[in-house]
């Protein structure tokens, strides 16, 4: 699964990319290679530079310096050719509610210069793939959220691009629709489409992506497979204890002093990092707590998650308001 | 595929959306003309208390009794002045609707000339339609046994018309209603573009549709072109609706079908010009609410300065230059020439079209520059 290939099969090569908005550096000297036929995840807190990076790849923004090569073509010089290779789906569902599903797809297809039979075939295929054949002539405004999302996905893929970029594809979807969207992304990838996605659901990245890059303050802070990134956090496992808040402090003290463990506290949850597969440690911890006559709700052993990686690398998971205002999105809006 | 194909594709989308919201769009475009044409267009159309000023140069019993007969009518509100010039003054100032001069020879005709002169102006907010026949019939019944001259002259409209003073703004058959309809057409067209094309740019941006166009392999200018053409088409539809309302209320186009063609051409120029203005505003504003307010701030003064409601010449002198700079003024004047004068003087064509083309050039250049920067 992990492809440690050489540079030659990179579908996207980003070289020393810099983008500034006035004095604010949104993307700070990013170099990144994305392998052909893989699912690539770009993670980062709000305002980290995800959207700016993607806008640069799409050619909506021009870089301050640096270059992006997509499938062998420079994305500024051969902008129109590059655009035909990329499909893009944003967090918002962009379908025209006043147009029918068919009309939505037709306009999208025509904008990618599909004509005649090829266009009709692409539309037919798209409707089939989105399970919307019965609703082809119904206005998209009357669709449910999931239907619109499916229509939007096939609309973004109408020109059969080699690369699909998804900006938070499952934000705001319910669990069923999210699982279905994952399946669709997997299916597309199996057919050879390179997928790049940003997400705020870390388990989504963990599940879907072959490679993950974490970006913060415009810089790539980590890059690798999910398991490689997890190793960076801890070679071992995590013991997770859940207890009443009034005893949490007592437990932490116990773990730190007596058992010499690295401990992380979050409300009622205590996480202790231990060596890999150290099942004995669980009973040691349980014994220690039992001897002190402290009651706890649960104790468990698990592997580190992407959440652990993310928080370790980017500090807190939530950025304050000021940071948010400096975000790339806000800057793009001001530019308008 | 070229710019044309892409523009056509995007225009198709615009028109499908326009059609989908046809009812809302039409209601919005109909409300203004209905209110303004029916209410303002018929202002002072009451048949009671029409102000009439009598100058009695005859000073004989017949004249006095004729005036008494007029006074007893409830339709007319008669007042007397001593000199013809002061009466005409009042007329030109809009203080009276009709001036009736009873010549010294009354009730006898002298050398075939009539002994009553009537002056009236159609450009005052007056309906003299009821007053003239009443004066005629009063004169007829009063003079029935005395002089047939007046009767003959009154039956012969040509003679009477020659004594009618019409404030020479627009043609002899002009009425305020037609005057007003001309102004409303230009305004409806402007509003059609501003609220048809411009708001959709912002709505598309808010919904992210614009972004989905940017990532497509098309020239960005096609996005503006399609919005502009859609705005122009909408303007012409709204203008025709407003004109229809004007027709229902009794307005006419003196120049006929050719006049309609001229009106459509002028409206197209106004619409293209405003499409530019619209793009300029829309490229600077992110919210529909803010856009709506800004658009009003731009369009309303232009509309009032254009003399849509009253002749621009009656504006205070310090405002006059603004009226001259207002491109809407020229569109309104052109439409009025066509609707009221019955012909479009070549000099007026040159002035009006040139002014509108300058307006368009400014709008297009500004919007091309701003829209280009916007994506960079």
Instruction: List, in order of start, the domains of chain A with CATH numbers.
Output: 235-303 (3.30.70.980)
Burial class (CB in 10 A: 0-12, 13-18, 19+), B264: middle
**Complete DSSP assignment for B256-323:** THHHHHHHHHHHHHHHHHHHHHHHHHHHH---HHHHHHHHHHHHHHHHHHTTSSS-GGGS-TTTHHHH
Strands (E), chain A: 10-21, 24-35, 39-43, 65-70, 73-74, 86-89, 163-167, 194-198, 211-216, 219-224, 237-242, 262-266, 269-274, 298-302
% chain B with pLDDT above 70: 79
Q: Is the dihedral of CA A160, A166, A172, A177 positive or negative?
A: positive
Burial label, A37 (beta-carbon count in 10 A; 0-12, 13-18, 19+) = middle
**Contact of B90 with B99, CB cutoff 8 Å:** yes
Chain A residues lying within 8 Å of B209, measured CB to CB: 94, 96
**Which neighbouring-strand residues pair with A139?**
A100
Residue-level pLDDT at A300: 86
User: Which chain A residue's Cα is nearest to B207?
Assistant: A94
CA dihedral A165, A171, A177, A183 (to 10 degrees): 30
A205 with A41: CB under 8 angstroms? Answer: yes
Scored b (16 or more CB within 10 A) or e, B206-222 reads: ebebbbbbbbbbbeeeb
Given a cut of 50, whether residue B9 has pLDDT beyond it is: yes
pLDDT value at residue A69: 92
Chain A touched by B10 (CB under 8 Å)? yes
Side-chain-facing half-sphere of B17: CA atoms under 13 Å: 23
The helix (run of H) or strand (run of E) holding residue A259 is none
HSE at residue B131, side-chain half, CA atoms within 13 A, is: 26
Per DSSP, what are the bridge partners of residue A274?
Answer: A237
Band of residue B154 on the pLDDT scale cut at 50, 70, 90: very low
Model confidence at B36: pLDDT above 90 = no
Residue of B2, B9, B216 to mutate when probing chain A, most A C-beta within 10 A: B216
The residue-averaged pLDDT of A267-287 equals 81
Place of tokens 């089939």: A128
Residue B151, pLDDT score = 26
Asked if B315 and B309 touch (Cβ cutoff 8 Å), the reply is no
- Pairwise CA distance, residues B181 & B366, whole Å: 31
Split at pLDDT 50, 70, 90, the class of B261 is very high
Report the pLDDT value the prediction gives residue B121, as an integer from 0 to 100: 60
User: In this predicted structure, what is the pLDDT of residue B161?
Assistant: 37
Nearest partner of B100 among B61, B131, B141, B144, judged by Cα: B131
Of A104, A208, A107, the C-alpha closest to A166 is: A208
Cα separation, A11 vs A192, in Å, equals: 12
Top-confidence residue, A27 or B138: A27
Q: Which CATH class is domain B50-161?
A: alpha beta
Across the A/B interface, how many CB contacts are shorter than 8 Å? 71
Q: What are phi and psi of A6, to 5 degrees?
A: -80, 180
Q: CA-CA distance, A242 to A266, in Å (whole number)? A: 10
Sheet holding A163-167, edge to edge: A86-89, A163-167, A194-198, A39-43, A211-216, A219-224
Instruction: Examine the pLDDT at A111 and tell me if it is beyond 50.
Output: yes
**Angstrom distances, CA of residue A270 to CA of A113, A317, B6:** 57, 17, 59
DSSP conformation class of B338: I
Q: What is the pLDDT of residue B152?
A: 27
Give the CA distances from residue B134 to residues B145, B160, B162, in Å, rounded to whole numbers and listed in that order: 18, 14, 19
Whether B17 sits inside 8 A of A80 (CB atoms) is: no
pLDDT reported for residue B194? 86
* Structure ipTM: 0.73
Greatest Cα pair distance in chain A: 79
- Give the model's pLDDT for residue B37: 83
- Split at pLDDT 50, 70, 90, the class of B166 is very low
A60/B6 touch (CB, cutoff 8 Å), yes or no: no
Q: How high is the pLDDT of residue A70?
A: 92
> What are the start-end ranges of the E strands in B37-75?
50-56
Q: Round the average pLDDT of chain B to a whole number and report it.
A: 78
- Which stretch of DSSP H or E encloses residue B220? none
Q: Where in chain B is the domain with CATH 3.40.190?
A: 50-161
Contacts of B20 in chain A (CB under 8 A): 98-99, 139
B5 compared with B124, residue with greater pLDDT: B5
Lowest mean pLDDT among A59-63, A96-100, A309-313, B293-297: A309-313
Q: What are residue B8's phi and psi, to 5 degrees?
A: -60, -45
Q: How confident is the model at residue B158 (pLDDT cuts 50, 70, 90)?
A: very low
Question: Rounded to an integer, what distance in angstroms lies between the CA atom of residue B284 and that of residue B374?
Answer: 9
SS3 category, B177:
helix
Q: Which residues contact B121 (CB under 8 A, 6 or more apart)?
A: B91, B92, B94, B97, B165, B166, B167
Which chain B residue's Cα is nearest to A157?
B216
Question: Is 60 exceeded by the pLDDT of residue B64?
Answer: yes
pLDDT band at A3 (very low <50, low <70, confident <90, very high): very low
Instruction: Report the 10 Å Cβ neighbour count for A81.
Output: 15
Instruction: State the pTM of this model.
Output: 0.72
Hey, is A43 helix, strand or coil? strand
Contact indicator for A191, A287 with CB cutoff of 8 Å: no
In this prediction, residues A52-73 reach a mean pLDDT of 89
* φ and ψ at residue B99, rounded to 5 degrees: -115, 130
Task: Express each pLDDT in A161-202 by its tens digit.
Answer: 999 999 888 887 788 888 888 998 999 999 999 999 988 778
Query: What is the reported pLDDT for B255?
Result: 83
Q: Is A42 helix (H, G, I), strand (E, B) or coil?
A: strand
Judged by CB atoms within 8 Å, which residues 18-37 of B form the interface with A?
Answer: 20-21
State the pLDDT at residue B173: 45
Given pLDDT bands bounded at 50, 70 and 90, which one contains residue B43?
A: low
Q: Which of A86, A116, A336 to mutate to test the interface with B (most CBs of B within 10 A)?
A: A336
Residue A86 three-state SS: strand
More confident of the two residues B187 and A3: B187
Residues of chain A with Cβ-Cβ distance to B283 below 8 Å are: 336
Q: Average pLDDT of chain A?
A: 83
Comparing A86-95, A111-120, B119-128, which segment has the lowest mean pLDDT? B119-128
Poorest-confidence range of A32-36, A61-65, B72-76, B110-114?
Answer: B110-114
Given this model, what pLDDT does residue B34 score?
A: 86
B-proximal residues of A, 111-130, CB under 8 Å: 111-113
Residue B359 has pLDDT above 90, yes or no: yes
């Amino acid at each position: 699964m992990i492809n440690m290939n050489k540079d030659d099969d990179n579908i996207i090569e980003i070289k020393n990319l810099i983008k500034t908005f006035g004095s604010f550096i949104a993307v700070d000297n990013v170099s990144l290679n994305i392998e052909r036929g893989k699912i690539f995840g770009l993670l980062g807190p709000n305002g980290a530079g995800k959207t700016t990076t993607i806008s640069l790849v799409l050619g909506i923004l021009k870089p301050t310096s640096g270059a992006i090569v997509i499938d062998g073509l420079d994305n500024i010089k051969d902008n129109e050719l590059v655009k035909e290779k990329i499909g893009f789906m944003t967090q918002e569902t962009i379908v025209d509610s006043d147009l029918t599903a068919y009309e939505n797809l037709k306009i999208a297809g025509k904008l990618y210069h599909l004509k005649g039979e090829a266009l009709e075939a692409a539309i037919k295929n798209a409707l089939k793939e989105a399970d919307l054949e019965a609703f082809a002539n119904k206005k998209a405004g009357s669709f449910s959220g999931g239907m619109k999302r499916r229509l939007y996905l096939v609309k973004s893929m109408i020109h059969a691009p080699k690369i699909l970029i998804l900006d938070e594809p499952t934000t705001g979807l319910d669990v069923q629709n999210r699982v279905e969207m994952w399946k669709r992304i997997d299916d597309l990838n199996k057919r050879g489409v390179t997928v790049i996605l940003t997400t705020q659901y870390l388990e989504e990245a963990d599940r879907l992506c072959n490679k993950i890059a974490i970006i913060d303050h415009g810089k790539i802070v980590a890059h690798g497979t999910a398991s490689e990134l997890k190793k960076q956090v801890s070679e071992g496992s995590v013991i997770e204890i859940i207890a009443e808040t009034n005893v949490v402090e007592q437990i932490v003290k116990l773990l730190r002093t007596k058992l010499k463990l690295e401990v992380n506290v979050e409300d009622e949850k205590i996480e202790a990092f231990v060596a890999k597969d150290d099942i004995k440690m669980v009973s040691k911890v349980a014994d220690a707590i039992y001897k002190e006559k402290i009651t706890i709700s649960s104790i468990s052993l698990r592997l580190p998650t992407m959440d652990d990686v993310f928080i370790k690398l980017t500090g807190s998971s939530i950025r304050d308001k000021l940071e948010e205002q400096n975000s790339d999105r806000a800057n793009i809006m001001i530019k308008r | 595929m070229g710019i044309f194909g892409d523009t056509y594709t995007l225009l198709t989308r615009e028109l499908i959306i326009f059609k989908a919201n046809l009812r809302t769009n039409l209601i919005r475009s109909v409300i203004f003309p209905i209110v303004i044409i029916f209410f303002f267009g018929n202002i002072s159309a009451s048949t009671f208390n029409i102000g009439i000023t009598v100058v009695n140069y005859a000073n004989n019993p017949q004249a006095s009794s004729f005036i008494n007969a007029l006074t007893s009518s409830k339709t007319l509100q008669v007042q007397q002045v001593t000199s013809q010039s002061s009466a005409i003054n009042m007329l030109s100032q809009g203080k009276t609707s009709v001036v009736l001069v009873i010549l010294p020879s009354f009730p006898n005709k002298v050398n075939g000339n009539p002994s009553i002169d009537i002056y009236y102006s159609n450009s005052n907010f007056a309906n003299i339609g009821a007053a003239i026949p009443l004066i005629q019939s009063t004169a007829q019944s009063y003079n029935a046994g005395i002089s047939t001259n007046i009767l003959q002259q009154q039956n012969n409209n040509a003679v009477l018309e020659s004594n009618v003073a019409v404030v020479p703004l627009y043609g002899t058959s002009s009425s305020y209603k037609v005057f007003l309809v001309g102004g409303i057409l230009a305004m409806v067209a402007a509003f059609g573009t501003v609220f048809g094309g411009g708001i959709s740019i912002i709505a598309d941006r808010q919904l992210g549709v614009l972004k989905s166009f940017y990532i497509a392999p098309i020239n960005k200018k096609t996005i503006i072109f399609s919005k502009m053409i859609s705005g122009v088409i909408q303007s012409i539809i709204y203008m025709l609706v407003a004109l229809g309302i004007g027709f229902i209320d009794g307005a006419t186009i003196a120049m006929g079908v050719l006049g309609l063609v001229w009106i459509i051409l002028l409206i197209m120029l106004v619409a293209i010009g405003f499409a530019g203005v619209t793009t300029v505003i829309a490229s600077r504003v992110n919210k529909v609410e803010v856009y709506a307010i800004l658009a009003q701030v731009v369009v309303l003064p232009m509309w009032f300065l254009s003399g849509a409601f009253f002749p621009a010449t009656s504006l205070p002198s310090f405002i006059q230059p603004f009226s001259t700079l207002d491109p809407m003024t020229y569109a309104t004047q052109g439409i009025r020439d066509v609707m009221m004068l019955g012909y479009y003087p070549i000099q007026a064509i040159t002035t009006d079209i040139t002014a509108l083309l300058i307006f368009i050039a400014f709008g297009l250049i500004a919007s091309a520059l701003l829209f280009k920067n916007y994506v960079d």
